[in-house]
């Protein structure tokens, strides 16, 4: 599936078991740790808010 420019989506991300930690919190609880950016080849391709950690 593709999300086109200016569209909104809810996505679920699963971290691999590589042993690396990512510090994040739901945006409502801690706004500074509740945002993320997805980048590809030096370009920002998406920005978002963490809604829930499961």
> What would the pLDDT profile of 21-41 be if each residue is shown by its tens digit?
888 999 999 999 999 999 999
Say if residues 25 and 50 touch (Cβ distance below 8 Å): yes
**CA atoms of 18 and 3, how far apart (whole Å):** 28
Give yes or no for residue 5 having a pLDDT over 80: yes
Spell out the residues 6+ positions from residue 26 whose beta carbon is closer than 8 angstroms to its own.
34, 50, 51, 52, 53
């Amino acid at each position: 599936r593709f999300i086109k420019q200016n569209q909104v989506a809810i996505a679920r991300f699963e971290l691999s078991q590589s042993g690396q930690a990512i510090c994040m919190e739901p945006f409502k609880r801690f706004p500074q740790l509740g945002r993320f950016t997805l980048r590809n080849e030096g370009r920002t391709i998406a920005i978002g808010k963490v809604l829930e950690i499961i």
